[in-house]
Amino acid sequence: MSRYDEARELYAKYGIDTEKALEKVKNVSISVHCWQGDDVVGFDSKQALSGGIQTTGNYPGKANTPEELMADMDKVFELTPGKKKLNIHACYAIFEDGEFADRDKIQPKHFDRWLKFAKERNMGIDFNPTFFSHPNVKDGLTLSSPDEEIRKFWVEHGKRCIEISQYFAEQTGEPCVMNIWIPDGYKDLPADRFAPRARFKKSLDEMLETPYDKDKVYICLESKVFGIGVESYTVGSAEFCMNYVNSKGITPLMDNGHYHPTEVVSDKISSMLLFNEKIALHVTRGVRWDSDHVVIYDDETREIAKEIVRNDALDRVFIATDYFDASINRISAWVTGLRSVQKALLNALLQPDSLLKSLQDENKFTDIMAVMEEMKTMPMGDVWAEYLKRENVESDYLTAVKKYEREVLVNR
Ligand code: RNT
Ligand code: ZN
């Protein structure tokens, strides 16, 4: 009997169908962030990363051109099982023949090479306006700036991005998730917390006047608690964003690195699902503060996946990765994170959810603890290995990563 067959029998004792889990997990789309490959630099201005987020480390092999970034992403796709979507930022616009368009003037054509790339790989595209790493981020502010010219510039950027998102959705035939995140905030105690948020609200209202199809483009708003150099006040706080999305019927996005360290997104998912048709996630790993570490197969990643599955919400949650590590091989970072999200989802699909739920209703917490602990040492790894085999992906990715490093990355 193969290890997978044995695992299947062991899971069946708990009424868990491993075949069903394998069928399901491969169709869960994960939106793969392009920015792990070049330390969130992009191609439009090559400005240093700003906005309270930082990439540390200088491991060799960073992608410097669209060709390099696309080649790296192909390597990542090859080493990762399951369904994927491409997630790009506006700063990854590709200008041909010396042409240039500033962020308030970008057009769909500046992303045609990404569109071609996605189409050839049968993928949809998610999109993000880039409200950072640009000279018009004035005093750390964009959509909340008191300078009307600056604020308007960024409103125009948002509008262009909605048009581009609509174009992506039409061209790929898959909905485009467009996520708005602004870095705006203050390092030290502000004298006025109200006015910047009022301006942010007004800017979003103006942006959202741009026509788009609600079944093609899902506009999200991502909140944050603080950033580097923006420690005391963040304009787009959790309360601001939650109230705004609810008042406008757009989609909330929770990044699990954007909360106080003892708060967990896994606990927030059920509440958000009760009040929103769809929710979006940035899966990352916070270490002490929002540090965007590579996602690993840790407790919180598993718990987030369990909440999505337990709440029967696989088709209501847009799952995207968001981390950037320049201190280790970037391809490996990408693959480790993506595989971890998938592993967590597979593990979630292998839990005896109905048994556990009925135990809870009977207040049998002794049993719940025992069953949950049992589950932790079930042979999930054998089911995972079977999944990789069926997806034609080698279990060992390090050998392929090292070969690519030797043959491609070190020559950059
Ligand atoms: C920053 C946010 C945001 C970015 C990306 C690059 O704290 O998490 O999502 O990481 O847009
Ligand atoms: Zn994020």
Spatial distance between the Cα atoms of 23 and 288, rounded to a whole number of angstroms: 36
Q: Is 334 a catalytic residue?
A: no
Residue 313 binned pLDDT confidence (cut-offs 50, 70, 90): very high
Residues pairing with 353 in the sheet: none
So what's the pLDDT on residue 307?
98
Residue nearest to atom 2 of ligand 1 (CA): 181
pTM of this structure: 0.98
Q: Which of 62, 157, 201, 258 is the catalytic position?
A: 258
The three state secondary structure string of the chain is CCHHHHHHHHHHCCCCCHHHHHHHHCCCCEEEEHHHCCCCCCCCCCCCCCCCCCCCCCCCCCCCCHHHHHHHHHHHHHCCCCCEEEEEEHHHCCCCCCCCCCCCCCCHHHHHHHHHHHHHCCCCEEEECCCCCCCCCECCECCCCCCHHHHHHHHHHHHHHHHHHHHHHHHHCCCEEEEECCCCEECCCCCCCHHHHHHHHHHHHHHCCCCCCCCCEEEEEECCCCECCECCEECCCHHHHHHHHHHHCCEEEEECCCCCCCCCHHHHHHHHHHHCCCEEEEECEEECEEEEECCCCCHHHHHHHHHHHHCCCCCCEEEEECCCCCCCCHHHHHHHHHHHHHHHHHHHHCCCHHHHHHHHHCCCHHHHHHHHHHHHCCCHHHHHHHHHHHCCCCCCCHHHHHHHHHHCHHHC
Q: Is 224 a catalytic residue?
A: yes
First-residue to last-residue Cα distance in the chain: 47
Average pLDDT over the chain, rounded to whole? 97
The percent of residues in the chain predicted with pLDDT above 90, rounded, is: 95
Spatial distance between the Cα atoms of 85 and 179, rounded to a whole number of angstroms: 14
45 HSE (CA, 13 A, CB side): 18
Q: Is 139 a catalytic residue?
A: no
Residues pairing with 181 in the sheet: none
Q: Name residue, tokens 């990643």.
A: 301
What is the CA(19)–ligand 2 centre distance, in A? 33
The finding on whether 39 has its CB within 6 A of some atom of ligand 1 is no
So what's the pLDDT on residue 359?
98
So what's the pLDDT on residue 46?
74
Which ligand has an atom closest to residue 92 CA? 1
* Residue from 282, 283, 294, 321 whose mutation best tests the ligand 1 pocket (most atoms within 8 A of CB): 282
pLDDT in tens, 20-78: 999 999 999 999 999 999 999 999 987 888 888 889 999 999 999 999 999 999 999 99
* Residue from 39, 53, 177, 228 whose mutation best tests the ligand 1 pocket (most atoms within 8 A of CB): 53
pLDDT in tens, 356-388: 999 999 999 999 999 999 999 999 999 999 999
The finding on whether 40 has its CB within 6 A of some atom of ligand 1 is yes
Ligand 1: atom nearest CA of 227 is 7
Q: Name residue, tokens 């960024």.
A: 154
Residue 130 binned pLDDT confidence (cut-offs 50, 70, 90): very high
Q: Is 282 a catalytic residue?
A: yes
The finding on whether 222 has its CB within 6 A of some atom of ligand 1 is yes
pLDDT in tens, 82-118: 999 999 999 999 999 889 999 999 999 999 999 999 9
The finding on whether 184 has its CB within 6 A of some atom of ligand 1 is no
Q: Is 33 a catalytic residue?
A: no
Q: What residues contact residue 380 under an 8 Å CB cut-off, 6+ apart?
A: 7, 343, 346, 347, 350
**Tokens in use for 207?**
């942006």
Q: Which of 110, 134, 201, 224 is the catalytic position?
A: 224
Q: Which of 72, 255, 382, 405 is the catalytic position?
A: 255
The finding on whether 181 has its CB within 6 A of some atom of ligand 1 is yes
So what's the pLDDT on residue 286?
94
Whether the pLDDT of residue 290 is over 80: the answer is no
What is the CA(19)–ligand 1 centre distance, in A? 36
Which ligand has an atom closest to residue 323 CA? 1
Protein residues placing their CB within 5 Å of the ion ligand 2: 255, 282, 322
Torsion angle of the four alpha carbons 270, 274, 275, 277, in this order, in degrees rounded to the nearest 10: 100
Residue nearest to atom 3 of ligand 1 (CA): 181
Structural domains in the chain, CATH included, are 24-349 (3.20.20.150)
291 neighbors 316 (Cβ within 8 angstroms): no
Q: Which of 72, 126, 222, 325 is the catalytic position?
A: 222
